[in-house]
């Protein structure tokens, strides 16, 4: 039976052919599983894994469940949460499964812990780490209690190793994003790759001396891909912290923003490629790379393809790291922000062409209404605009594609039959504005401004729905609950466990009541004094909340990796309230391609649709409405002689209603 054994290692391709272009319109709902865990703002981003008639998946509250793959009935549930704990946003994109010699173990992260769960019983594996869990804050060379470290995306299994990335804070203080391999049986740490190099290691001189002691990030939050035959794990990394100002980290900052090819057994570097030097645009590599075989000069070459937030695909020789299409270095402008020193040159590929637009001009500002266009034009003319690598500024700089891509975390699909690479993309502009970071005496407001205002704004209004308003939060939750979230984190928010007890008390009191209490002399703020921050994560929207540029606002593309061309591109998603087909919309979650000729994808934020396209032409062949947005990558499996396709329906993105269901489709019996 074919199943998805590891979310991040699979090419999002299935050889199953029972469902094809000729019968896809006959698909019906085979079963529906309600986690009963949905709450306001919750999401499910999980792609289930399948084994011997059982699907393993996570719920909006972080439970791990085993579901009968034929009926949707629950077989068992593992709950890592303390009894009575209030639900907060939890993001998980799948679990990693080890299945060898009759032993099945499932690994996934909740808050700072990596859990190992017995696949047959649903119980924690007592011999793994400390009674079934490992504290991910340990083993990073810094005091664990001062760090915020978690994991939202599956790792990969190589023999008896679980190779794993992490999610860390995007502001300082931040943990280093080291890549680590754990023993699947004991939880012991077997190897570590330092993404922020230590003295004597390659790349150390691309950072200021001693940077490994105070900076963080350069982490793999988006997942990785294993070539088991070669014993190579391909690991994409994100930017260094702080995301948007690097005056304290002059240099190219290797191994941030890199694709790393590591020896899976030892963690030793085989090759690397850096996509962005000294990143100040949050250009994390957002997705695991895809293994592909492509034709070059009449011969087939084993390749690895990496999609980026900026809307490009880079294709490399798997063994050497040599780009299979020319990559050119370009001069880029310098920064006007005091203390900042950007790289003078950056790289982009010649082929394939970008799958998302690269620049906003006056000509492609919204025409939805004359009033919307006039307002967008007025704002646009006050901003710094240009192509990729336009520096952040105090006026505000257009970042397009935005902080969420271009490509995003859902991953891409590759079809070995046609050589087509399928990628969905966002076309949402964001505005990056640099503002002074408050300094001076340490009081509650100063703590808030240093640690929280970059996302929730100085006035606590946030940029909903991703970064909610904190105004009046004490009416929604108790002070103890606010304190727990500040300490442990939730959703995209990191935990701030590094704050002292006094700092935690006055910060929480400020958020809850507005009281600006002072921090006693001798206490400290552990957020290092960078001189600049941002005024929040701001999308370029019109007065009605629509992107203030012309459509499409989301696309699905098929890229020919043999020729380096775009075979087809179609809008993906709609805004139902607009009653205007073909606009596209923001989308999160990836596609899966079938040998029979289909591309399945949910992902769209607003229309709750699940769609099937002809893989050769992009023609829409089937669509259905889900209970909530399918912001996840679907999985295909066969059981009992029947082919199923299942997708998580969690919603919750961009203010859309939340849901808590998994829905499976199949042909009628």
State the virtual CA torsion across 541, 544, 549, 551 in degrees, nearest 10: 130
Helices 501-513, 444-451: inter-axial angle, 10-degree rounding: 90
Supply the mean pLDDT for the chain: 91
* Residue ranges of domains in the chain: 438-529
DSSP state of 403: T
Whole-number pLDDT of residue 468: 79
Cα 24–28–32 angle (5° rounding)? 135
Contact predicate 652/658, CB 8 Å: yes
| Whole-number pLDDT of residue 521 | 43
Confidence at residue 1, expressed as pLDDT on a 0 to 100 scale: 30
Distance CA 94, CA 46 (A): 4
pLDDT at 331: 97
Which helix (H) or strand (E) segment holds residue 453: the answer is helix 453-456
pLDDT beneath 70: ranges in the chain:
1-11, 439-442, 465-466, 477-481, 488, 490-492, 497-498, 500-502, 519-529
Check residue 441 and give its pLDDT: 60
3-state secondary structure 13-36: EECCCCCCCCCHHHCEEEEEEECC
Cis upstream peptide for 58 (omega within 30°):
no
Please tell me the pTM assigned to this model. Answer: 0.91
Strand order in the sheet with 64-68: 49-51, 54-58, 64-68, 74-78
The pLDDT score that the predictor gives to residue 592 is: 98
Helices and strands (DSSP H and E) totals, the chain:
5, 43
CATH topology of domain 438-529: Cytochrome Bc1 Complex; Chain D, domain 2 (1.10.760)
For residues 562 and 579, give the distance between their C-alpha atoms in angstroms, rounded to a whole number.
38
3-state secondary structure of 542: coil
d(CA 381, CA 166): 39
Q: What was the pLDDT predicted at 171?
A: 87
The rounded radius of gyration (Å) of the Cα atoms in the chain is 24
The pLDDT value recorded for residue 526 is: 40
Q: Are 536 and 476 in contact (CB under 8 A)?
A: no
Q: What is the pLDDT at residue 507?
A: 82
- Looking at residue 452, what is its pLDDT? 83
Identify the bridge partners of residue 276 per DSSP, sorted by sequence position.
Answer: none
Q: 534 near 512, Cβ under 8 Å?
A: no
The SS3 call for residue 486 is helix
CA 176 to chain centre: 17
Distance CA 76, CA 556 (A): 37
């Amino acid at each position: 039976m074919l199943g998805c054994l590891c979310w991040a290692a699979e090419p999002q391709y299935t050889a199953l052919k029972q469902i094809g272009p000729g019968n896809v319109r006959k698909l019906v709902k085979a079963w529906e599983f309600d986690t009963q865990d949905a709450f306001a703002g919750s999401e499910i981003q999980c792609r289930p894994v399948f084994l011997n008639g059982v699907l393993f998946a996570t719920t909006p509250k972080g439970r791990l469940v085993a579901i009968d793959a034929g009926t949707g009935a629950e077989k068992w549930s593992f709950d890592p949460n303390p009894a009575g704990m209030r639900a907060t946003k939890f993001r998980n994109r799948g679990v990693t499964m080890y299945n060898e010699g009759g032993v099945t173990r499932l690994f996934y992260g909740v808050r700072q812990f990596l859990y190992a769960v017995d696949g047959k019983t649903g119980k924690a594996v007592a011999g793994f780490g400390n009674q079934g869990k490992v504290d991910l804050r340990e083993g990073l060379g810094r005091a664990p209690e001062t760090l915020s470290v978690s994991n939202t995306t599956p790792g990969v299994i190589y023999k008896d190793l679980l190779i794993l990335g992490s999610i860390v804070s995007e502001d300082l203080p931040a943990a280093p994003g080291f890549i680590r391999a754990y023993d699947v049986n004991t939880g012991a740490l077997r190897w570590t790759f330092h993404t922020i190099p230590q003295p004597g290691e390659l790349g150390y001189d691309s950072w200021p001396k001693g940077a490994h002691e105070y900076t963080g990030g350069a982490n793999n939050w988006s997942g990785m891909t294993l070539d088991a035959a070669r014993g190579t794990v391909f690991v994409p990394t994100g930017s260094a912290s702080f995301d948007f100002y690097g005056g304290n980290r002059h240099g190219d900052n290797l191994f941030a923003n890199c694709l790393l090819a590591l020896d899976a057994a030892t963690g030793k570097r085989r090759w690397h490629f850096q996509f962005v030097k000294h990143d100040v645009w949050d250009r994390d590599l957002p997705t695991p790379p895809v293994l592909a075989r492509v034709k070059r000069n009449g011969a087939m070459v084993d390749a690895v393809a990496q999609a980026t937030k900026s809307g490009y695909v880079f294709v490399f020789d798997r063994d050497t790291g040599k780009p299979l299409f020319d990559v050119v270095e370009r001069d880029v402008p310098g920064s006007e922000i005091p203390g900042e020193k950007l790289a003078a040159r950056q790289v982009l590929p010649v082929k394939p062409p970008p799958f998302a637009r690269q620049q906003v001009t006056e000509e492609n500002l919204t025409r939805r209404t004359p009033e919307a266009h006039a307002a967008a034009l007025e704002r646009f003319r006050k901003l710094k605009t240009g192509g990729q690598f336009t520096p952040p500024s105090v006026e505000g700089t257009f970042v397009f594609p935005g902080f969420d891509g271009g490509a995003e975390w859902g991953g891409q699909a590759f079809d070995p039959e046609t050589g087509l690479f399928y990628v969905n993309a966002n076309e949402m502009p964001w505005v990056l504005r640099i503002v002074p970071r408050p300094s001076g005496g340490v009081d509650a407001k100063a703590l808030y401004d240093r640690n929280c205002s970059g996302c929730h704004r100085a006035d606590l209004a946030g940029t909903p729905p991703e970064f909610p308003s904190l105004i009046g939060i004490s009416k929604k939750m108790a002070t103890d609950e606010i304190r727990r979230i500040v300490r442990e984190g939730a959703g995209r928010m990191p935990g701030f466990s590094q704050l002292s007890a006094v700092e935690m008390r006055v910060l929480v009191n400020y958020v809850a009541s507005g009281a600006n209490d002072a921090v006693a002399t001798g206490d400290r703020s552990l957020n290092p004094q960078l001189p600049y921050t941002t005024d929040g994560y701001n999308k370029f929207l019109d007065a009605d909340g629509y992107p203030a540029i012309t459509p499409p606002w989301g696309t699905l593309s098929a890229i020919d990796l043999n020729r380096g061309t775009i075979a087809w591109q179609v809008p993906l998603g709609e805004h139902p309230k607009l009653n205007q087909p073909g606009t596209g919309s923001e989308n999160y979650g990836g596609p899966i391609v079938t040998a029979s000729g289909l591309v399945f994808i949910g992902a769209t934020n607003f229309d709750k649709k699940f769609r099937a396209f002809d893989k050769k032409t992009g023609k829409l062949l089937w669509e259905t409405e889900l209970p909530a947005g399918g912001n996840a990558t679907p999985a295909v499996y066969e059981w009992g002689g029947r082919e199923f396709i299942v997708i998580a329906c969690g919603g919750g993105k961009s203010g859309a209603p939340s849901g808590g269901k998994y829905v499976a489709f199949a042909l009628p019996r």
